[in-house]
Structure 1
Amino acid sequence: MPPKISVTEQTSRRVVITGIGLITPYAVGREQSWQKLLSGHSATSLLQDLSNQLGRPIAGGMIPDVELSSTSLTRTPFQNDPSIELTLKATSEAIEDAGLEPGQLSNESTGCVIGSSKGGIAGYAELAGASHSRSISEDSIPAEFWLQCLPNACSQAVAAEYGLQGAALTPVSACATGLSSVMRGADLIRDGICDTVIVGSADASLVPAVLGSFQRMGVLATGFPSPAQACKPYDSRRNGFVVGEGAGMLILESLKHALDRNVTPYAEWLGGGLGADSTHLMQFDPAAESLARLITDTLQRGDVAATELDYINLHGTGTQINDLYETRALRNAFGDLATRIPCSSLKGGMGHLLGAAGSVELGFTLLAMRDHIIPATLNLEHPDPQCNLNYTPCIAVPHTINTALKLSFGFGGHLVAGLLRNWQATR
């Protein structure tokens, strides 16, 4: 027989979320972003400079604070990559929200898992531009500048800022990176390696090289009547996503550590699952078998019945293939029950935050659970008959949320699912 686990050990292995920090195209800050998301207005706009460079209208979700955006023309050359600044600012808010003092983090039991889908792309763009134009001498580029272009730059920056001595990791799984980071951080707590982990992701990719590549791949929204209506998840008129920037940082703690500090968590992380759909670099298996299996396996590991789900936060990019794939997977996993579970995609209002999408959307899911309201899928005005779930079109709806599922995907077939339970419901 396996050894018995004491109550103290069980409590130390349960994972709760106690702090949230968000920077989004809606606003710089958690509560400001949440209230603007609930208002039903889109935060995407026309990126005029990038549109001129790429020769066609480009919509995107730029952060209101121009100094934090990779599109800013006022940035000093070769300063910190915007993704690092986003990470540090969102981390500071998450730590404050969790009621932690920075001095409490400087020990070997505190770590960070902060992902990036591609590293400091704005820094790479600066280096490439300087090399191409030869307008800047090599001596004017800081010797260590290239280090911030690496995928681990954000986790390194947070570890250095707070003197962390625990694990510092950097998952890279394309647009599933944010949720992968949360899952890996939870594993560190469950394995007894850490009792506090700063998790999340950041992305600042509004640069011509990235948008030009997506344009050639045919995945960017085109022909939109207005930038605010460019991304239309699950709508029959959908034809692509728009890119946004942002960061989502969360504080994970063992339940014992949180209770010892006398703080009230947002929710308990019940578990997550990883999968792959290796059909194609940019496309998924039309039958959606891999994702359906991941969803059912995740619920089984979390000991949650499908009937207990109150909300599903979808990946929902607004591309023809992705939205249909996700719909079919949920129908395959839950049958007719899938049509009765409220769900929504947030990308119609703020764009696709790429590597940061999973952690930012998980942060919004936690706020939805706190306030018991389903955020809307914006621009869903002409539903696709093949996308026949309850997507909460256009207007947020009050609804009790005790248990929620979050889904994220990425180019290359990365699949991630996360399962949460509202802390008040848990207690």
Structure 2
Amino acid sequence: MNRRVVVTGLGAISPLGLTVPQLWEGLLAGRSGTGLITKFDASGFPSRVAAEIKNYHPANYFEPKEARRIDVSHQYALVAAKEAFGDAGLTSQDYDPIRAGTIIGCTNGGITTLLSQYELYRQEGSRHLSPFLLQMMFCDMMPSLVSIKYNLQNASYTTVSACSSGANAIGDSYRLIQRGDADIMITGGTESSIVPFAIAGFCKIKAMSTRNDQPGKASRPFDKNRDGFVLGEGSAIMILEELEHAKCRGAKIYAEIVGYGMSSDAYHWTAPDPEGSGASLLMQATLNDAGLEPTDIDYINSHGTSTLLGDIAETKAVKRTFGEHAFKLTINASKSAIGHLLGAAGAIEALICTLSIRDNKIHPTINYETPDPECDLDYSPNRVTERKINFALTDSLGFGGHNVALILKKYRP
């Protein structure tokens, strides 16, 4: 059974705003969501840049008691899910709970809670620890909270595959609906890891940009002078439905998901395969799953992290997979504007693909100033590209060689 799966609702909280319209407006305007870290004193770190969410106040979304019982990463997922439900015009009367589920990706879980509670434990022992500590730090609490709030009784779990977690969640949700195990899935990713411990870890492997004097220009994928990624935070949630289920309730349809692929570099813990062979295998597998030829793809929302090795390897993978057609593609890198959302990265980039398909607009890769001879494709540098998009591919290439891609299609009845 291969049922058609469509996107009917979107929600996001990001460094460019607290809603999807704010995110999309900021991307098209070429705004940067990166800046100097304000969450803590980062003066002692080599990298002092991050893409933080601004003007977020839990009291605007949660009762005080509720906010104290859920980590900020959980909060982001619930905020994005609420927007997605509203955007889809979806209520509990519109679905059978047994046929509805949720899968949400995350990398570090409730790391903010974990570190603050550990410090409390170190100083005062266990007596003052929160009774909600375990719930707040576990990765699997994200879908658990969403399933409880919306009475989703089908599959409910977390995908953890580093930077590919959110894309994995969407892909797994797509499969459940496609093969008839569910009719509707609430899916995406969430992350809030801008904490000293995580920044220190990424600095130790020299993965982060040290362009502290130009924080708004620190993330510059495919630019010759890139020097590392910028850590971001946020959540993106998509509502996926079986086509007939969506049509029966009169839902608006953004796009259709038609392909899901995975591969492994089997190369190194943090470095990509320098020839991009694992990523190329991924892209070909996703094309095969969708029943498409390379020439069918119009647009790629790249992983594009702004690391020296990663951007070259990804460019090689695109050229290996698409041949001469690679030079006809429009490619962009959302991380240039919003940083790297880790477990939410693949989800927010799939959401951005959906908006690009709807509007036939590809947002700019900002901060692209000096071409790199080894990155010689069209990365939509500093300009919005308007072109008809029938098929878009988004790839996520996670630490450890975990590779995931999705193909989305302009919906046609």
TM-score range, shorter chain: over 0.9
SS in 2 for 1:169: strand
Within a 5 Å distance, the mapping from 1:330-409 to structure 2 comes to 330-409=318-397
TM-score (norm 2): 0.95
Supply the distance in 2 between the matched residues of 1:211 and 1:202 (Cα, whole angstroms): 18
Aligned with residue 294 of structure 1, among 278, 282, 298: 282
State the 1:362 CA deviation.
0.9
Supply the distance in 2 between the matched residues of 1:192 and 1:355 (Cα, whole angstroms): 27
Within a 5 Å distance, the mapping from 1:79-158 to structure 2 comes to 79-105=69-95, 107-134=97-124, 138-158=126-146
Q: Is it true that 1:33 corresponds to 2:3 in the alignment?
A: no
Supply the distance in 2 between the matched residues of 1:217 and 1:207 (Cα, whole angstroms): 16
Q: What letter matches 2:264 in structure 1? A: A
State the 1:57 CA deviation.
4.8
Distance 1:76 1:102, change over 3 A: closer
State the 1:102 CA deviation.
3.2
TM-score (norm 1): 0.92
**Aligned counterpart, 2:197:** 209
State the 1:114 CA deviation.
0.8
Distance 1:52 1:340, change over 3 A: same
Q: Is it true that 1:218 corresponds to 2:206 in the alignment?
A: yes
Supply the distance in 2 between the matched residues of 1:295 and 1:76 (Cα, whole angstroms): 42
1:78/1:142 contact within 8 Å kept: no
1:109/1:196 contact within 8 Å kept: yes
State the 1:106 CA deviation.
5.8
What's the Cα RMSD here?
Answer: 1.9
**Aligned counterpart, 2:49:** 59
Supply the distance in 1 between the matched residues of 2:399 and 2:385 (Cα, whole angstroms): 31
Moved >6 Å (runs of 4+): 74-77
Q: Is it true that 1:166 corresponds to 2:151 in the alignment?
A: no
Supply the distance in 2 between the matched residues of 1:389 and 1:245 (Cα, whole angstroms): 28
Q: What letter matches 2:24 in structure 1? A: W
1:34/1:364 contact within 8 Å kept: yes
1:106/1:162 contact within 8 Å kept: no
User: Which segments of 5 or more consecutive residues in structure 1 lack a partner in the other structure?
Assistant: 1-8
**Aligned counterpart, 1:232:** 220
1:365-423: CA deviation from partner (whole Å, max 9, x where unpaired): 11111111111111111011100111000111211111100100111100001011011
Supply the distance in 2 between the matched residues of 1:362 and 1:254 (Cα, whole angstroms): 18
1:133-176: CA deviation from partner (whole Å, max 9, x where unpaired): 32xx6343332322221110101110111121111021110010
1:305-342: CA deviation from partner (whole Å, max 9, x where unpaired): 22221110000000011100100001111112101100
State the 1:49 CA deviation.
5.2
2:104/2:159 contact within 8 Å kept: yes
1:21/1:94 contact within 8 Å kept: yes
Q: What letter matches 2:7 in structure 1? A: I
Supply the distance in 1 between the matched residues of 2:58 and 2:395 (Cα, whole angstroms): 27
Distance 1:278 1:265, change over 3 A: same
Supply the distance in 2 between the matched residues of 1:92 and 1:259 (Cα, whole angstroms): 21
State the 1:284 CA deviation.
1.7
SS in 2 for 1:239: coil
1:67/1:75 contact within 8 Å kept: no
1:48/1:58 contact within 8 Å kept: no
Supply the distance in 1 between the matched residues of 2:197 and 2:44 (Cα, whole angstroms): 10
Identical aligned pairs, as a percentage? 34
Q: What letter matches 2:240 in structure 1? A: L
Supply the distance in 1 between the matched residues of 2:339 and 2:370 (Cα, whole angstroms): 19
Q: What letter matches 1:278 in structure 2? A: A
State the 1:103 CA deviation.
3.8
Indicate the larger mover: 112-121 or 201-210.
112-121
Distance 1:76 1:271, change over 3 A: closer
**Aligned counterpart, 1:21:** 11
State the 1:132 CA deviation.
2.6
User: Which segments of 5 or more consecutive residues in structure 2 lack a partner in the other structure?
Assistant: none
